[in-house]
């Protein structure tokens, strides 16, 4: 994700202070356990979209009269790699109240949510991330994200055939992921299409198209992916599913 707040390029969260923390499902000053995180952000700082999507105005306090000072926020429904996700960010004085936004685009300026907390603490934005309507921990999406992103064009969420990190006899029993990859059209070709510059060892960037899967007789609509780190097969299931995006504990060398 892009930095959320001006001056906080690492999306640093509010540290624990007196038993209250800005972490996911940690206790806040009012005793609430929040399914979200509090990102450091000073009032009047610029606020940016974390990913591409559709923006909607949102009232975090439901138009309560005694919370008007902070009752303004945003809902962004993700597109592309973030299809199926949506985020709530508050409190923000918005620059726009609807429409498409791009990752890193300024969407408003931070308001001071502390006006409803009744405590003196560091200023922050509340950030709540959902996947298919279910709250998830956004910490590693915001910081040091190691997600792979979408691998096959016709499978936005990297759904698998069978269990993750399984042995597959088709590939000498190696462990990996059988990723669903239905053909999107019949190109009339018998092999993979690719650009000449990808033949051999070449540098590629995340999200760059590199090939089209082979369409072999009696083969499943999937591609098999094995991942190695310094020659060793490693389990990166969380990075593929996007469940946490936490960097794995790779084997030492």
- 224-227: Cβ within 8 A, 24+ apart: 224/168, 224/170, 224/171, 224/176, 224/177, 224/178, 224/179, 225/151, 225/176, 225/177, 225/179, 226/171, 226/174, 226/175, 226/176, 227/176
Residue 128 within a domain: yes
Separation of alpha carbons 238 and 227, rounded Å = 13
Q: Are residues 105 and 175 in the same domain?
A: no
Whether the predicted model's global pTM rises above the 0.75 cut? no
Residue 3 within a domain: no
Tens-digit pLDDT string for the chain (253 aa): 899 999 999 999 998 876 678 999 988 877 888 999 999 999 999 999 999 999 999 999 999 988 999 999 999 999 887 888 999 999 999 999 999 999 999 999 999 998 987 777 889 999 999 988 999 999 988 987 778 888 998 888 899 999 999 998 888 889 999 999 998 765 554 444 444 555 677 777 777 788 888 888 888 899 999 999 888 899 999 888 877 777 777 877 6
Model pLDDT, residue 29: 75
Q: Are residues 105 and 53 in the same domain?
A: yes
Q: Are residues 42 and 133 in the same domain?
A: yes
Model pLDDT, residue 250: 80
The region, left, alpha or beta by phi > 0 then psi within -120 to 50, assigned to residue 19 is left
Q: Are residues 56 and 124 in the same domain?
A: yes
Residue 65 within a domain: yes
Residue 89 within a domain: yes
Q: Are residues 128 and 180 in the same domain?
A: no
Q: Are residues 43 and 136 in the same domain?
A: yes
Residue 20 within a domain: no
Residue 152 within a domain: no
Residue 174 within a domain: yes
pLDDT digits (tens, 9 = 90+) for 157-189: 899 999 999 998 888 889 999 999 998 765 554
Model pLDDT, residue 198: 55
Q: Are residues 122 and 211 in the same domain?
A: no
Q: Are residues 41 and 136 in the same domain?
A: yes
Residue 1 within a domain: no
Q: Are residues 132 and 173 in the same domain?
A: no
Q: Are residues 134 and 201 in the same domain?
A: no
- The three-point CA angle 233-236-237 to 5° equals 125
The region, left, alpha or beta by phi > 0 then psi within -120 to 50, assigned to residue 40 is beta
Q: What is the CATH number of the domain that holds 94?
A: 2.70.70.10
Number of domains in the chain: 2
C-alpha separations of 48 from 2, 44, 51, 107, 213 in Å: 8, 13, 9, 5, 37
Burial of 191 by CB count in 10 Å (0-12 exposed, 13-18 middle, 19+ buried)?
A: exposed
Q: Which of 142, 177, 206 is the last residue of a domain?
A: 142
Contacts of 108 (CB under 8 A, 6+ apart): 46, 47, 74, 92, 93, 94, 95, 96
Q: Are residues 126 and 222 in the same domain?
A: no
Model pLDDT, residue 185: 64
Q: Are residues 109 and 62 in the same domain?
A: yes
* Residues spanned by the domain of 73: 37-142
């Amino acid at each position: 994700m892009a930095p959320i707040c001006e001056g906080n390029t690492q999306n640093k969260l509010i540290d624990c202070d007196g038993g209250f923390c800005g972490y996911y499902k940690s206790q806040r000053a009012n005793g609430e356990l929040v399914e979200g995180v509090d990102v450091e952000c000073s009032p009047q700082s610029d606020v940016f979209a974390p990913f591409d999507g559709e923006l909607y105005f949102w009232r975090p306090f439901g138009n309560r009269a005694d919370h008007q000072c902070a009752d303004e926020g945003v809902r962004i429904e993700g597109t592309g790699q973030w299809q199926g996700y949506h985020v709530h960010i508050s409190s923000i004085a918005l620059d726009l109240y609807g429409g498409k936004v791009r990752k890193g685009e300024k969407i408003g300026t931070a308001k001071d949510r502390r006006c409803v907390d009744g405590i003196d603490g560091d200023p922050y934005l509340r950030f709540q991330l959902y996947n298919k309507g279910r709250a998830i921990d956004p910490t590693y999406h915001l910081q040091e994200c190691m997600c792979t992103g979408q691998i096959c064009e016709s499978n936005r969420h990297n759904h698998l055939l069978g269990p993750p990190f399984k042995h597959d006899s088709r590939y000498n029993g190696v462990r990996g992921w059988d990723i669903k990859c239905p053909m999107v059209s019949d190109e009339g070709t018998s092999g993979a299409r690719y650009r000449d510059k990808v033949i051999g060892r070449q540098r590629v960037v995340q999200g760059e198209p590199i090939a089209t899967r082979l369409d072999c007789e009696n083969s499943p609509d999937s591609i098999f992916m094995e991942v190695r780190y310094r020659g060793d097969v490693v389990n990166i299931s969380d990075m593929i599913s996007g469940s946490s995006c936490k960097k794995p504990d790779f084997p030492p060398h």
